[in-house]
Amino acid sequence: MRRLARAAVLALAGLAERLAAAPETADGLSRAEFLDAAAALVSPTGQVALTGTTRADGLPTLHPADGDGLDSSWLTIVAAVRPALTRLEAHQLTEAAPLRPWTNRPGDPWQTNPSDDRRLIAMYAVPELNLASMTGQTPIAVAAIDRFSEVIPAAEQYTGAAFGFDAPAARAQQAILLAVPPSAHQPLDQRMLVQILTETRKLTRVRMARPVDLDEQFRALTPSALLPASGAVAIPLEARE
């Protein structure tokens, strides 16, 4: 009782502050100003939940989802990125009698069935609510907590890799060898990795060859960055008429 009395005193002080801040009359207030003043008066946070009513037959066909684990398989995941559902999850975890979930897609909250194109509808209600025992004319109080759309990613995505380095501080010890198997259907095993390293080492030595290191008949096989300026395979870089 003492705790309740202290809470009542604090609530009374807060109500007095809101009454003092409220306008004396609604005359001259626009619609937006009136709604803001009314919300600030009735709620300490300035937020008011607006609920509506609908008949039971106005709801889609819903099934109890507490046995399907909707909280653990769906709510706990989407609540991480949806603030409104975060508050709902907190209520479900802290209350002794949490709300009972209902859904139009029992057992398939992630809509993995391609033949069923219905949107997911998740409803949370007091445990005493039983839609099966209600007549179609029974009024039900409802409020929308959140609404959003999701896109299932494509099974195949184009990806890429980028490797950065700081020049001119980079040295050969910082080189990165990106090895891929020659066949997409064959794993990169130890034997293949040794072969790739061996070929890479050989190619590294070959690419360091200068034209003077090769016999004349092989000078055309020098790296593309080295273009012979004389001989039978000379490649001129200047324009000629």
pLDDT digits (tens, 9 = 90+) for 68-101: 789 988 999 999 999 999 999 999 999 988 999 9
**122 and 74 in contact (C-beta within 8 Å)?**
yes
* Residues 204, 182: Cα–Cα separation, whole Å: 19
0.75 surpassed by pTM: no
Sign, Cα dihedral of 26, 31, 37, 38: positive
Reported as a single tens digit per residue, the pLDDT across 188-209 is 888 888 999 999 888 888 777 7
Rounded to 5°, the CA angle 220-225-226 comes to 45
Query: At 8, which amino acid appears?
Result: A
Reported as a single tens digit per residue, the pLDDT across 30-74 is 888 888 888 888 887 777 777 788 999 999 999 999 877 899 889
Residues 6+ apart with CB under 8 A from 16: none
